[in-house]
Chain A
Amino acid sequence: MATAETVLKPDFGSKRKHFIFTDEHDQLRESIRAFAQKELAPHAEEWEETTFPDWVFHRMGELGYLGLSYPEEYGGQGGDYYSNIVLAEEIGHANSGGLAMGIAVHTDMATPPILMFGTEEQKQRYLVPSIRGEKISCLGITEPDAGSDVAGIRTHAVRDNGEWVINGSKTYITNGHRADYIVLVTKTDPDAGYDGFTLFLVDMDLPGVVREKKLEKLGMHASDTALLAFNDVRVPDDAVLGEIGKGFYHIMWELQGERLIGAAGCVSGAQRAFDRTMQYALERKAFGREIGHFQVIRHKFAEMATKLEAARQLVYMTAWRFANGEYPVREISMAKLT
């Protein structure tokens, strides 16, 4: 028979860990957090002015954080997809949205298509050094006249003497100034609609690649964001990533992983804002008591906490679907929207 003591036991001792995570993830979480707090956060203010330095990539490569879910044969850690969620959540402790974004573009946007669609030679040449933090990547989708409307892309590549010649421009490119190479979306057959796009791996030091301007932004100040131009850039056949004509589908695949990681980062950012605000509300006094003890403020916290937890659970549930082989476009879009 249940007794008073058993039913009233407070829940604060309950294990908070979600079922998708194991003890290994917890250890990873702690080590990333310690790294972010110790080696990154102290510079956060400064990097808002200067953008964060490239050594962050080298250091994270050294620690294995840039290849958490990549196979060991390419220098990765061989972990599961949830490890990337852990990274996205904990890198937030650097207190720099711009830094988190720069890293996420590298680990979860630009490099996954190389593993998925690249040749062995491409993996050795781009993925391996990216995982080590020796090469920095960026992803070129958006153009001055085409954003979410990926099909409206104008940057094009044409065959010429056994090579491809690329012309066009890309904008809002995170890591665009520091990148060693770009995963570039181009149109290779203007009449083929969705079947007319092709991805290229383009080295940023090739003649004709111009890093035009560093864009100023509302936030994310620590990241570098570029407008890029491609003027008669010549690349060989083996620069094609994946199948010719399949670029649109390749990039749609990429966007799913990216969005979920973005959502996980947001949840963790919101959690830190919540924690900090809670601390403030318990310190700051008005009318003789801490403002957190006024009912209106208390209820605000209850609402914030509920929003936050619902979003977190949506992200985890979607990650579970993703890791179990579903392709949950709908849920990922929801997680990002929330």
Chain B
Amino acid sequence: MPLPPFTDEHEELRQSIRRFVARELRPYSQQWEDERWFPNEVFHKLAAVGFLGLKYPEEYGGEGGDHLHDAVLIEELPRAGSGGVSAGIGGHIGIATPPIWKFGTEEQKQRFLVPAIQGEKIGALGITEPDAGSDVAAIRTLARRVDGGWVVNGSKTFITNGMRADFVVTAVKTTEEGGHHGISFLLLEKDMEGYSVSKKLEKMGWHASDTAELSFQDVFVPEENLLGEENRGFYLIMANFQWERLAMALGSVGSMQAILERTIEFALEREAFGRPIGKHQAIRHKIAEMAVKLESGRALTYDALRRFMQGEEPLREVTMAKLKTQRDCFEVADEALQIHGGAGYMKEYEIERVARDARLGPIGGGTDEIMKEILGKTYGL
């Protein structure tokens, strides 16, 4: 019986996603890692089977499902073995398109959401800057009011899909002071004059994803590209944070599951001192601890997910799920690496990649320290 909040329907979807991942992604992950890029064709293939629009209404070309369907996809993607691929897809479906769906005008949905669901336009979310990360109120990119729109100057960094993005949901200051009441979101498009990718960034992990620094020099953005209300952009950010963090937790649960399965398989094959290493007590206990991290993370995450789906606003539960699973996933990957020994350190076993990829978890989407600040505040501390 599937664990709540999932039902048999979700398990069927899970099986079909799993097959897709095994067929279309897994065989190419090493190549894409080496190339520091996965092809845009991946988006087309995902779109062809409806996976880019699972939670979106049919009128926009979506599948008419909800966040639970996305949750299944996010949990299964790590089986591709490439954090970069998960990140690129996640950036598109998990953080770039949801604000358009939630806050966009009908015209914006037709222009951006519909082609995004079809895999024809690729999206990115642009918030972080060289001098402002979790401290969103400190962003400097400025949009100056002009006739018919805004002129934008500034830069964004660590932008997933930044190289390939056709549009970037971009946070800008629309008042000189900026801050919580002076931020807006504009839809910047790659062919706008003055919009450029200033740098492709090299990273510790997530090699298959593209991560870029963007620069905006006197980019004119027309009125109709304002997303949501002017000066209310801060709330738009807050609106999707819960889902983004929940998605990260789900991704780590899926990742820990995949790592554990592979490690157990390895531990039962590899022999030392006359028996499979998994039959040695020290290894057995390591695997037991990894499994406890996985299942407690799953229990915590599914509870947050269930509450989220019920329309509660489970700030505390989501924050806890994000905090726990990201660190645990890295630790589980590190233990897997240890159990694999020399093989773990070698590229061909892909364990070192999993460990490198997992290290982003406690940083991205709000660091562990930020999660703890949020939790502390929910307790009035």
A interface with B by C-beta (< 8 Å): 1-4, 7-12, 14-15, 18-19, 278, 281-282, 292-293, 295, 297-299, 301-303, 305-307, 309-311, 313-314, 316-317, 320-321, 324, 326, 330-331, 333-334, 337-338
Contact = CB atoms under 8 A, between A and B. Distances in A.
A310 B320 contact: yes
Contacts of B312: 11, 14-15
A281 B297 contact: no
A331 B288 CA distance: 11
A338 B320 contact: no
Given A313-B299, A324-B1, A299 B372 contact: yes
A330 B307 CA distance: 26
- Among B102, B235, B295, B307, residue most surrounded by chain A Cβ atoms (within 10 Å): B295
A7 B3 CA distance: 28
B372 A334 contact: no
Contacts of A310: 296-297, 299-300, 320, 324
A234 B4 CA distance: 51
Contact of A11 (B232, B315, B381): B315
B371 to A, nearest CB: 7
Contacts of A12: 378
Contact of B239 (A2, A19, A317, A324): A2
A8 B4 CA distance: 27
16 contacts: A11-B313, A11-B378, A19-B4, A282-B381, A299-B373, A301-B376, A301-B379, A302-B323, A302-B371, A302-B372, A303-B372, A306-B320, A309-B317, A310-B299, A337-B288, A338-B292
Contact of A309 (B236, B238, B288, B300): B300
B291 interface: yes
A310 to B, nearest CB: 4
Contacts of A333: 288
Given A10-B313, A14-B313, A302-B371, 5 more contacts: A293-B381, A305-B316, A309-B320, A314-B296, A326-B1
B103 A18 contact: no
B306 interface: yes
B102 A306 contact: no
A292 B381 contact: yes
B185 interface: no
Contact of B314 (A14, A281, A303): A14
Interface in B87-106: 102-103
B302 interface: yes
B381 A313 contact: no
B296 A338 contact: yes
A13 B381 CA distance: 18
Given A19-B4, A301-B376, A316 B103 contact: no
Contact of A14 (B238, B295, B307): B307
A41 to B, nearest CB: 25
B6 to A, nearest CB: 12
Contacts of A10: 313, 315
A313 B312 CA distance: 17
B375 interface: yes
A14 B310 CA distance: 10
A338 B288 CA distance: 11
B369 interface: yes
Contact of B323 (A1, A19, A306, A338): A306
B303 interface: yes
Contacts of B297: 310
A330 B375 contact: no
Contacts of A317: 3, 295, 298-299, 302-303
A311 to B, nearest CB: 7
A313 B296 contact: yes
